[in-house]
Amino acid sequence: MNSAVTLTDVPVPPRRAPAVWRVITLSFYLGWQDVRMMYRRTVLGQFWITISMIVTFAAIGTVFGFVFNSPVIEYLPYLGCGLVFFNFLSLILNDGANAFIAAESFIRQVALEPIVYFLRSVWKTFFVLLHNALALILLFVFFPQGISPATLLVVPGLVVAASGISGLALALAMLATRYRDVPQIVAAVVQVLFYLTPIVWLPEALPAPARDALLTWNPLTHMIAVMREPLLGSYPSPQTWLTAVGLAVAFVALGAGAYALKRRELAFWV
Amino acid sequence: MTTHVHLEGVSLDYPVYNQSSRKLSREIIRLATGGQLDRHEQRRVTVRALSDITARLEVGDRVGLIGHNGSGKSTLLKLLAGIYRPTAGRLSREGVVGSLLDISLGMSPDATGRENIYLRGVLQGLSRSEITRLVPGIVEFSGLGDFIELPMRTYSSGMLLRLAFSISTVLSPDILLMDEWLAVGDAEFQVKAEERLHEVVSRTSILVIASHSATLIKSQCNRVIYLEHGRLVADGKPDDVLPQYFTEHQ
């Protein structure tokens, strides 16, 4: 026998670890690998994510700071939070909607719960957010917003927004695998939402009717508000919380429902 | 429960999504026109890949799957692996399934050999700490030496397969699925690989291998299932079933 691995001490695979925990750890690991692989062979590695976000802050901040004639010290932190969180949510939608399509060869060859591939995409997006958060921290060093109890609310805000938008993305991913036009539609809608959501522009700059319509009916406005306002030192209004949580619950139910109902067909759809 | 795979009247219909049925616009037009426009096109095209298969695989069964290309061998293997679910009939399975169907799936050319051991390992259902324990043995068996620290894209195709083989065969499943016998690497490695493969096969309670080689099936199997157009034509001892297929097509 020249093989060094004795098969006797190999544990018999799956079935020991609870399935849910396995799905989470496996997708976490694959997502992390994805982020690392994206920037292989570059000197700065995944910190390119951070750098490109800083460049975006500077460019948009300079131009639109003049356009809105608002003091940089107020405008830049507002813009920075908005960009980072919009980037996070839009990536969940765009990358998530493609998750099963991208994992085609896996779904056809490995008997894993396909949700692993969706969560892999969500984790990947989360790691991108962490790198962008570095850019935000840097921004706050130059433009301090002060730390108050309100700041801590960014955590529940993040959980609500991320889970809600992930639920929506999961439903879209199911639809996208069956109907291949969907990812294109998602990409187009997300791009439009960037302009319809108060990220670059300040709500005060719009006339009241247009503003109220955009602030009320755009789900992303609420999802971003629960993450951004705490970082800017204010408490999101109860109405904002209620809307964000309500939407999140509805989206998660939609995504989970679509997955539970159709997950067995995914192997035929890819 | 002892390890087994029982199939009772299992059928598998494979929907085919052609260009038009996959497009959302089609569905929207259908909605807008009240479903009148293309009632005919709504009948989804399906391919019956497996039809009414009944077989009971028990501990000790070494099953060779034979049949032409497109007879349903691969589909049946995927069904046994749990990738597809039967669209009709019942499938009951007990035991951990391991497959050597695509041994390099999930490996990334930009990752190092060592990282790929982890990538492949987690897909095989191992935890990271288990893999860490197995890494030295896998590296040694693959014979890659220091190459293990280099990105996989620097490997020759033979090295790549040696690594994939070394990782995939550390498992010791109850039910082992294979599509043809694996032969990888140069002459020296093949001897080692052969030995390893026999070891894995001898450990498994149930083996199912699809093959076009009568010699392989005679040496490895004690039972042969012959599929034709997704139907089970014959199921029995190799000596009884093999001639039906091989004489017919000589």
- Using an 8 Å CB-CB cutoff, list chain B residues near A11: 126, 130
Confidence (pLDDT) at B241 = 92
Nearest to B24 among A112, A181, A268 (CB): A181
Number of structural domains chain B divides into: 2
pLDDT digits (tens, 9 = 90+) for B148-194: 999 999 999 999 999 999 999 988 899 999 999 988 878 889 999 99
B171 and B235 both lie in a single domain: no
- The complex scores an ipTM of 0.84
Confidence (pLDDT) at A36 = 86
Which residues of A lie closer than 8 Å to B, measured between beta carbons?
A: 1-7, 9-15, 17, 22, 25-26, 29-30, 33, 37, 40-41, 105-112, 178-182, 185, 264, 267-269
B66 and B139 both lie in a single domain: no
**pLDDT class of B200 with cuts at 50, 70, 90:** very high
**pLDDT class of B22 with cuts at 50, 70, 90:** low
Q: Looking at the domain assignment, is residue A3 inside a domain?
A: no
Number of structural domains chain A divides into: 1
**pLDDT class of B126 with cuts at 50, 70, 90:** confident
Confidence (pLDDT) at B16 = 81
Confidence (pLDDT) at A246 = 97
CATH number, domain with residue B184: 3.40.50.300
Q: Looking at the domain assignment, is residue A191 inside a domain?
A: yes
Mark yes or no for CB contact A3/B195 under 8 Å: yes
Confidence (pLDDT) at B248 = 59
Give the residue from B16, B110, B124 with the most A CB atoms within 10 Å of its CB, the best one to mutate.
B110
Mark yes or no for CB contact B173/A12 under 8 Å: yes
Query: Which range marks the domain in which residue A250 is found?
Result: 19-269
B91 and B106 both lie in a single domain: no
Largest CA-CA distance found in chain B, in angstroms, rounded: 68
Confidence (pLDDT) at B18 = 67
Query: Which range marks the domain in which residue B20 is found?
Result: 4-95+209-248
Closest B-chain CA to A31? B119
Closest CA to A39 of A54, A56, A29, A51: A51
Confidence (pLDDT) at A1 = 34
Give the separation between CA A174 and CA A144, rounded to whole angstroms.
43
Mark yes or no for CB contact A10/B122 under 8 Å: no
The tokens describing A43, both together, are 């000197």
CB A86 within 8 A of CB A194: yes
Q: Looking at the domain assignment, is residue A7 inside a domain?
A: no
B48 and B82 both lie in a single domain: yes
Q: Looking at the domain assignment, is residue A39 inside a domain?
A: yes
**pLDDT class of B30 with cuts at 50, 70, 90:** low
Confidence (pLDDT) at B43 = 59
Q: Looking at the domain assignment, is residue A1 inside a domain?
A: no
Give the separation between CA A29 and CA A47, rounded to whole angstroms.
19
Closest B-chain CA to A4? B137
Confidence (pLDDT) at A5 = 38
Low-confidence stretches of chain A (pLDDT < 50) are: 1-15
| Cα angle for residues A9, A15, A16 (degrees, 5° grid) | 65
**Whole-prediction pTM value?**
0.88
Name the average pLDDT for chain B.
88
Taking residues B136-143, report their average pLDDT.
94
- Using an 8 Å CB-CB cutoff, list chain B residues near A111: 81-83, 97
Taking residues B226-234, report their average pLDDT.
94
Query: Collapsing DSSP states into helix, strand and coil, what is residue B218?
Result: helix
Nearest to B134 among A5, A37, A108 (CB): A5
- Residue B33: exposed, middle, or buried by beta-carbon count in 10 A (0-12, 13-18, 19+)? exposed
Q: Looking at the domain assignment, is residue A11 inside a domain?
A: no
